[in-house]
Amino acid sequence: MQDQSFGTTSIHAMNHTTKPHPHKSKAGETPALKKLRQILAASRPISWVNTAFPFAIAYLLSGGQLDQTFWAGLIYFLLPYNLLVYGVNDIYDYESDLKNPRKGSLEGSIVAPQARAALWGAIIVTNIVGLAWLGSLVGQNGKIVLALTVILAITYSLKGLRFKEIPVLDSINSSFHFVLPAVFGFVVSPQAAILWVPTVAFFLWGMASHALGAIQDIIPDRAADIRSIATQWGARRTIRFSFWIYCASAALSALVFWPSSLLAGLLVGLYALNAAMFLKYSSDAQSKQFRRAWTNFMWLNGVVGFWLTQLILFIADPFNLGPARLDYILTFCTLFSIAQILLIAHNFAVFRRPKTQRLDEWPRITIMTHAYNQAENISSTLLAALGQNYPDFEVLFTDLGSEDNTKKIAENFTDKRLKLITIDPIETGWGVDAWAADQLLKQASGEYAVLISADTVLLPNTLAQIAMLLEQEKLDVLSLLSADQNKSLAQKTILSHNQYLMLAAYPSGFLQEHAPERSTAHGSIIAFDSAKIRRLGGFEDVKASPLEDQELFHRARHKGLHAQLFRASDLATSQNHLGLRGIIEDNIQRFYPALRFHFPLTIFLVIAGCFVFSSPVIILVYSLVIGTQVHFISIAIALAAAILTRILIALEAKQDIAAQLVAPVTNIAIMLMLFASLIQYELRKPRWKNRTGIV
């Protein structure tokens, strides 16, 4: 993670809405420990890697070894240099930092006047010692670059110079803080030659990042009379500047070691994609919207930085591993799959339904469902709903203007427990699915309501199980993860991957137990206490969500209701679409919202998912082409481990086991659907995002 703009814009503090008092110390903390903590906080430990890594990778790529120069440079660019850059910034930005609600936490420290002497002392001592040691190991060119690095670190914030308040120069100076350690690494290496293309690409990336981070503070910076590229250019011009500079950086990155570096260009291009998502905001009054852009940026640094590092190490091979690099990749893929198996086991255990006991009294339950063009599924859905072995229930159904025979099929049912409802015209601001669910809830007579999609088939004992779980576990909201239909080839090869994302690629069980407000785990069936949800406003809070059932489950937790997810493949089956096109469209609609529109998480899953499954296959093809069998055992183990993760999920989702053998291929398709879902919601306006559109 990188703090690019120091006093005006900095690291995102998750869920921090208040700022601790700058003079408040921790209980039992001695004055010496307090000063040490403040000094370390001023150095931004979370950003140490952003200056140390560029030096280290540049030095090693240019023939350097793990010698004294390497360790001296690494140590200096970890603590002393960051203390110089950020400490000086915090000293001279004290007044403006007090007005910044993000300071005093992970966003950056606040250095009180009485603490300045100690901080100055730490800056001077650590830098003199570090520079003396490092300077004694390098030649004249190295000393010149080191001196320039220190000068630009100071001039950024020093009163009287304050390059940070000169538009464009602020972005240039900020970028040099991270580029010059890399330049130093190149200069003092045995080859003593700067690799200009990656260096310029890195410099452009730094400029774009600084500009992006400055936009979110346009309003408070103008109020504090602080000049920056964003306050002078405005949000619209600055975000476009950032986007195009990121694009230039990505293009240059792709040219470093062509064609292998094309992957590097794609990775850097993710920053341009992040900026592109916010081109739609053109008014300075919308500058707060760029808070999310900066948060995405901080997370991307970890995701992109990791994979870019692996790519650089593989291409440059600074440790001379040779063909053994492929075995390391296969070992990584195997270990990753083993970790997934452990995660699957944990998630299965957390979401296992407890044994239920028979109730003395059976509360009335209302099953609610609505449909649009579900002629292929609605008959079996309604038959299963009416076939429940439960003494007191009703089924409310409304058609959303289907163009096929959905409505006629429903009208042919004569069971009095089925009520065909005509809902009011949709109001502005509502999604049609949320509106239909809300209208049905208003007419529900059951103590509990069960919302199912028009393609969900309930087994006869489902309502009894739901009632017992709600009563026995004292739940307000219940979500059930059903099995998937297993008829068509598309269903057999693709549908089990959907549950894979939740049960094998994400710590869903851990979050449900320890941080339920952040959990993204939801099933296709939701049951809830009708009265409590009505008191919360029904579906009003989730009226614009494309996944109104899942969003209701999340909001209920957020508002203090007891909500929980359970596995229920033995209670219900989601028929889904039979055809490939319908499955693809449905996945694109649901994937990104199911991850709560978390851009970096989506990117991580796409990259990791493609890498773990694709790498063994690519290495297998490569081995066959060059005629070697050296890696065959490692390849077989890696593929077996990866396929096992799919088999475990397929067993839970009641999917075809043999179809999982093609998972290395279908997995790529799933990752592409996930990425397409991100693009649809962030850059396009899909039909289901139109709040009155039918899905």
| DSSP letter string, 193-257 | ---HHHHHHHHHHHHHHHHHHHHTTHHHHHHTT---HHHHHHHHHHHHHHHHHHHHHHHHHTTTT
Q: Which string of DSSP letters, residue by residue, matches 313-359?
A: HHHH-TT--TTHHHHHHHHHHHHHHHHHHHHHHHHHHHTPPPPP---
Q: Which domains does the chain have, with CATH numbers?
A: 31-320 (1.10.600), 329-343+597-689 (no CATH), 351-482+523-578 (3.90.550.10)
pLDDT band at residue 13 using 50, 70 and 90 as cut-offs: very low
pLDDT band at residue 219 using 50, 70 and 90 as cut-offs: confident
Mean per-residue pLDDT, 237-264: 93
At 5 the pLDDT is 40
At 23 the pLDDT is 44
pLDDT: is 353 or 37 the higher one? 353
Tokens coding 319: 């440790």
pLDDT band at residue 110 using 50, 70 and 90 as cut-offs: low
pLDDT band at residue 16 using 50, 70 and 90 as cut-offs: very low
pLDDT tens readout for residues 653-694: 898 999 999 888 888 899 999 999 999 989 886 544 443 443
pLDDT tens readout for residues 457-476: 999 999 999 999 999 999 99
At 111 the pLDDT is 63
Tokens coding 144: 């010149």
* Average of per-residue pLDDT values in the chain: 86
pLDDT: is 369 or 494 the higher one? 369
Interior/surface letters 541-576, b for 16+ CB within 10 angstroms, e for the rest: bbbebbbbbbbbbbbbbeeebbbbbbbbbebbbbbb
pLDDT tens readout for residues 262-314: 999 999 999 999 999 999 888 888 888 898 999 899 899 889 989 998 888 88
pLDDT beyond 80 at 366:
yes
Q: Which residues contact 334 (CB under 8 A, 6 or more apart)?
A: 634, 637, 638, 641
Give the pairing type, strands 448-451 and 563-567. Answer: unpaired
Mean per-residue pLDDT, 629-650: 92
Q: Which residues contact 389 (CB under 8 A, 6 or more apart)?
A: 460, 461, 463, 464
567: β partners: 481
In angstroms, the CA 230 to CA 236 distance is 9
At 8 the pLDDT is 37
For residue 13, how far is the Cα from the chain centroid?
15
- Residue owning tokens 């396929």: 643
Number of H helices, E strands in the chain: 26, 10
At 100 the pLDDT is 54
pLDDT band at residue 40 using 50, 70 and 90 as cut-offs: confident
pLDDT beyond 80 at 26:
no
pLDDT: is 506 or 110 the higher one? 506
At 97 the pLDDT is 55
DSSP 424: P
At 511 the pLDDT is 83
At 119 the pLDDT is 84
From 19-33, 298-312, 400-414, the region with the lowest mean pLDDT? 19-33
Q: Which string of DSSP letters, residue by residue, matches 574-624?
A: E---SSHHHHHHHHHHHHHHHTTT-HHHHHHHHHHHHHHHHHHHHHHHHHH
For residue 637, how far is the Cα from the chain centroid?
29
Mean per-residue pLDDT, 184-196: 94
pLDDT beyond 50 at 9:
no
What pTM was computed for the model?
0.85
Q: Which string of DSSP letters, residue by residue, matches 92-105?
A: HTHHHHHT-TTTTB
Mean per-residue pLDDT, 50-63: 91
pLDDT: is 277 or 223 the higher one? 277
At 103 the pLDDT is 53
